[in-house]
Amino acid sequence: MAAIAGVGALAPHVRSAKLRALVLTGDKRSAAMPEVATLAEQGISGANNESWFSLVAPKATPRDIVQRLNAEVRLALAAPELQRRFAELSLSVNPSTPEELDTIIKSEIVRWAEVIRKADIKPVE
């Protein structure tokens, strides 16, 4: 059997030897499973398929409010107890600026739109 799932869900099973990880789909190796190579290391580029989480606000939110929210979230993410808990869950913390997140979201829209187009995926009626 084979599966593609997040590192956080699989790491405990890999550590207990109930599963064997063959490869990671991220751009870089995971701190939770540093011994597992990435697809890119195996010569397969463009296959990054990582899950990520972000905090967004309505488009009309004033810039100073967005900046304040970003600063507070970054402060919380830097807390040692949160860092420790995320590491226990095999999650990495990669805070960004609102502008960086905007770039990521826009690139993901382009990327997945191309996948949908090439695969000729249609909505279910």
How far, in Å, CA of 61 to CA of 59, rounded?
6
* pLDDT of 46 over the 90 cut: no
pLDDT of residue 104: 93
Residues 34 and 66 in one domain: no
pLDDT of residue 48: 79
pLDDT of residue 105: 94
Tens of pLDDT, residue by residue over 58-74, are 999 999 999 999 999 99
How distant is the alpha carbon of residue 9 from its chain centre? 13
pLDDT of residue 73: 96
CATH of the domain at 14: 3.40.190.10
Residues 58 and 110 in one domain: yes
* pLDDT of 81 over the 80 cut: yes
Q: Which of 110, 7, 113 is nearest to 52 (CA)?
A: 7
Mean per-residue pLDDT for 94-98? 93
Per-residue pLDDT band for 5 (boundaries 50, 70, 90) equals confident
> CB–CB of 67/98 below 8 Å?
yes
Residues 68 and 125 in one domain: yes
CA atoms lying within 13 Å on the CB side of residue 104:
15
The alpha carbon torsion through 42, 43, 49, 50 (nearest 10 deg) reads 50
Residues 65 and 86 in one domain: yes
Parent domain of 112: 52-125
36's CB contacts (< 8 A; 6+ apart) are 14, 21, 22, 23, 24, 29, 30
How distant is the alpha carbon of residue 31 from its chain centre? 13
Residues 114 and 58 in one domain: yes
